[in-house]
Amino acid sequence: MKKLSIFTFLFLFAFLFQSELIYAQSGDDVFSFMEEYLTGDEASQIDRAKSSISKADKLNSSIRTEDKKIEKYLKKKKKKAEKKSVDVKILRIKQALYYDKGYSLVYNVYNEKISESTFIYGDDEARVNNLLEEAATDVSTAKRKLKSYRKPSAKDLKKKIKYSKLKGDLSSAVNMEISAIKKLIEAYSIYLDQESKKQLEDEEKRVWNNALSENSSLSFQNYLDEYPNGKYASDARQRVNELEAEEARLAQADLDRNRSLAGLVFEVQIAASRKQIPSWRLAKFYPAKDEIKMKHYDNWYKYSVGNFKSYEQAKSFVKTLKVRGAFVVAYKNNQKINIKSAISGN
């Protein structure tokens, strides 16, 4: 029990003073983000990397002890200090090589995973390629810094290799490897973001198709309300202006004709497509799929819900519906009529 308590004390002591060493590892988590995306084999390789990094971390206490021993020489007797610092130089080199082994393995796993990924968007792929190039440069620079310390002679450790420079070079090399890995993580996050980006684009495309199928100033204005800076916003504004002028011209003529018709009803159109939309897809944004009515006009399959006697009732239903791109349409005797004429007649 006594040995265990001493070990525990030494472990806690090393942990509390970890920040004094040259490798500032706080905030350098290069594992948690990627864990859920790794295959079994990749995870196994990362475990081996963690083991190597752990071995490096465990040398911190010994390095601190050796630094304490030579502290007085470093302050006054520079030549003697270099001779006295041989042991701690060896420890720091050993630690850096453990870090290098671990971080190199992490880098290789992440780099290969990203290289196998496919991209939907060219600009995303270009950003990722830039990050990969920057990461490769960081690693190459780190390897060059470490190269001269891999097998130093005893003579070089005593005289040629200065302790301060060794610490700086090794710290810089390890931190560059960590920086490279973080760039790979950023690159993979860009890859993962593609799916949500694609979903948003598909949603906007659906709202735009719904507006196109109706081809009215209200339908295009509805698109603009949802996407004021959207992909089709410029085209939508132009169509609103053109159609408002045309609709105003036709409104009176349509009103005179439609007033003689009975059975005016308002419905809420929720989707449209050149091809029929499967019921399972409709159910994604309107679960009560049995309430959906399909009509085929002008080579469009149009899907609507509700049966309202006034435009205000239908418009109020749109607000509670929470289906993006939905808008009110009008029918008389099962014949579609201009919505502005219907509103005026109603």
Report the CATH number at residue 278: 3.30.70.1070
Domain membership of residue 207 (yes or no) is no
Same domain, 80 and 41: yes
| 9: pLDDT strictly greater than 90 | no
Same domain, 149 and 235: no
Q: Are 85 and 70 in contact (CB under 8 A)?
A: yes
Q: How far is CA 337 from CA 116, 211, 252, in A?
A: 54, 16, 13
Same domain, 220 and 154: no
Please tell me the total count of domains within the chain.
Answer: 2
Position 88 confidence tier, pLDDT thresholds 50, 70, 90:
very high
Q: What is the mean predicted confidence (pLDDT) over 55-77?
A: 87
The domain of 290 spans 215-345
Same domain, 167 and 229: no
pLDDT at 156: 86
Report helix, strand or coil for 54. Answer: helix
Q: Which of 200, 231, 264 is the last residue of a domain?
A: 200
| 8: pLDDT strictly greater than 60 | no
Same domain, 33 and 173: yes
Same domain, 219 and 160: no
Same domain, 111 and 248: no
Smallest Cα–Cα separation from 38: which of 109, 104, 102?
109
Domain membership of residue 78 (yes or no) is yes
Same domain, 332 and 292: yes
Give backbone dihedrals phi and psi of 305, rounded to 5 degrees, phi first: -135, 160
Domain membership of residue 16 (yes or no) is no
Domain membership of residue 9 (yes or no) is no
Domain membership of residue 10 (yes or no) is no
Domain membership of residue 5 (yes or no) is no
Output the CA torsion sign for 50, 52, 57, 61.
positive
**Whole-number Å distance between alpha carbons of 70 and 311:** 88
Same domain, 275 and 133: no
| 285: pLDDT strictly greater than 90 | no
Position 298 confidence tier, pLDDT thresholds 50, 70, 90:
confident
| 135: pLDDT strictly greater than 70 | yes
| 16: pLDDT strictly greater than 80 | no
**Whole-number Å distance between alpha carbons of 178 and 37:** 19
For the whole model, what pTM was predicted?
0.61
Q: Which of 141, 168, 200 is the last residue of a domain?
A: 200
Same domain, 182 and 231: no
| 166: pLDDT strictly greater than 90 | yes
How many residues in total does the chain contain?
Answer: 346
Smallest Cα–Cα separation from 30: which of 142, 194, 132, 177?
177
H or E, element range at 322: none
| 178: pLDDT strictly greater than 50 | yes
Smallest Cα–Cα separation from 231: which of 211, 212, 205, 209?
205
| 1: pLDDT strictly greater than 60 | no
pLDDT at 254: 65
Domain membership of residue 127 (yes or no) is yes
Same domain, 180 and 262: no
pLDDT at 311: 92
Domain membership of residue 17 (yes or no) is no
pLDDT tens digit string along 218-262? 999 999 999 999 999 999 999 999 998 888 877 766 666 655 556
Strand ranges, E, within 249-291: 264-273
Same domain, 160 and 280: no
pLDDT at 345: 66
Q: Which of 173, 200, 227 is the last residue of a domain?
A: 200
